[in-house]
Amino acid sequence: MTPEGLRVRRDLVIGEDELHTSTSRSGGPGGQNVNKVETRVTLRWSVARSGSLSDAQQERLLKTLAARLTKAGELILHVDTTRSQARNREEARVRLSRLLRAALAVRKTRRPTRPTKASKTRRLESKQRRSRTKRLRGRPDQQD
C-alpha cells in the first residue's frame, strides 16, 4: 500500500478514491464477537470507470474478469477470514492486487506440436500389447 493508492504493478497504481470499502457482520463461529463487531470487509472497484487503467489494460481486465464483474463493470471482493477488520481490509487489498496481476499477465501463445515418430510407434505397440492381453482372456477355442 502506498500513500497514493494500491500498487498493483510498476505501471499500475489504483487511486484510493477508486476503492470503496464497507463492513458488515461476519457469519460463522466467533462467540459474542460475531454478533456485535463488523469484521467482514467488502471491497468494490469499478473496472469500467477506473481512471488508473490504460485503454488496453481496461479492455484486457473486462475480458479476463468478465465472470467476476457485475453488469456495471464492478469487481466486488468479500473478506472475512480473520476476526480483525483491519486485517480483513488489508487482505482484500492484497487479493485485489493479486487478482489484477494475474489477469493482466500476458500468456504465451501455445504453438501446436506434432508427436514424434518414436512416440507414435510406442503408442501403437502399447495398443497391440493390450489387445493381445485382452484377446488371451477369451475362451481357448476362439483364439487365433
Task: Write the pLDDT tens digit of every residue in 87-128.
Answer: 999 999 999 999 999 999 988 999 999 999 999 999 999 999
Report pLDDT digits (tens) over 43-90: 999 998 988 899 999 999 999 999 999 999 999 999 999 888 999 999
Is residue 6 within 8 Å of 21, Cβ to Cβ?
Answer: no
DSSP state of 106: P
* pLDDT at residue number 4: 74
**Domains of the chain, start order:** 1-144 (3.30.160.20)
Q: What is the pTM of this model?
A: 0.72
Give the pLDDT score at 91.
96
User: What is the pLDDT confidence band of residue 143, given thresholds at 50, 70 and 90?
Assistant: low
- Integer angstrom CA distances of residue 110 from 1, 12, 61, 104: 35, 27, 21, 18
